[in-house]
Structure 1
Amino acid sequence: MTQPSDYPHHQSVQTRWHDNDIYGHVNNVVYYSYFDSVVNRFLIEQGGLDIHQGEVVGFVVESQCRYLKPLAYPETITAGLRVGKLGNSSVRYELALFNARQELCAAGYFVHVFVTKASNTPTPIPERLRHALAALVC
């Protein structure tokens, strides 16, 4: 069973009122938003990614999520983040969302390919960013 300790990086995620759907739980598409926010916050804060003036950005080229237990507003989630594969210009992030009882509610991944903004062509992951991501490789 996957546990928070299986992930070297953790972030709290606060569900929002509009995350719930008509069935009273967080809508499936919102989980991807949580994943994206957790990864990008890490990249900005730990890897120095400059989303406004930087020359390099990450494009999502693949993603997947398994929904195991429902989440709902108001709930604070613990997101776990690790790197499953670190390539030359791409990285596979593995994520898990845990409820307050530390139960696994969702698990998934997505792949970023880093590209230059000007040409949208793959480029090696910048060194500071690579160093931050290498710390999450499991």
Structure 2
Amino acid sequence: MKQTPKQRTDFSYFLPIQTRWSDNDMYGHVNNVTYYSYFDTAANSLLIEKANFDIRCSPVIGLVVDSACSFFQELSYPEIIEVGVAISRLGNSSLQYDLAIFKQSQDVASAQGHFVHVFVDRQTRKNTPIPVEMRDALTPYLRY
């Protein structure tokens, strides 16, 4: 199924990332697995910056249970990219991030995808509700 690239206006949180020399593969572009690293970094940056999430000490952590990425335009080192993040679903113990990668000064995504985090107790790994403070902090990023 062919997707239409998302627009920059579909997102309200952006994380700039400098591509690295090692991101390129032998074909001269950013390797596909690296896009997931960009997505993971941006989603967790949203949690850390906006929801005061402490990745080292929080009793509740988010585990990725689903992810996808569609590619529209190549990226390569030494570009600076911006990863847009929106939340498309905020459930009791899970949320879905919509993510897109934009070249600087471009309004159409070079790649887009999603991550689903299920929140669990750090010790028991059992599903647990998203903490109220986190839910409140993330609600402004809910789209759709």
Give 1:104's match in structure 2, choosing from 97, 105, 109: 109
| Residue 114, structure 1, aligned to residue 119, structure 2 | yes
Deviations 1:33-71 (A, max 9, x none): 000000111101111111111101000000000011000
Count of aligned pairs between the two proteins: 138
Residue 89 (structure 1) shift: 0.4
Residue 74 (structure 1) shift: 0.1
Identify the range of structure 1 (92-101 vs 104-113) with the bigger mean alpha-carbon deviation. Answer: 92-101
Question: Take 1:111 and 1:37, find their aligned partners in 2: how far apart are those partners?
Answer: 14
Residue 6 (structure 1) shift: 1.0
Question: Take 1:60 and 1:26, find their aligned partners in 2: how far apart are those partners?
Answer: 22
Give 1:63's match in structure 2, choosing from 64, 67, 79: 67
Identify the range of structure 1 (44-53 vs 55-64) with the bigger mean alpha-carbon deviation. Answer: 44-53
Percent identity of equivalent pairs: 47
| Residue 15, structure 1, aligned to residue 27, structure 2 | no
Runs of 4+ off more than 2 Å: none
Residue 127 (structure 1) shift: 1.4
Give 1:25's match in structure 2, choosing from 22, 29, 33: 29
RMSD over equivalenced CA pairs, Å = 1.0
Gaps of 5+ in 1: none
TM-score by length of 1: 0.96
* 1:80 matched residue in structure 2: 84
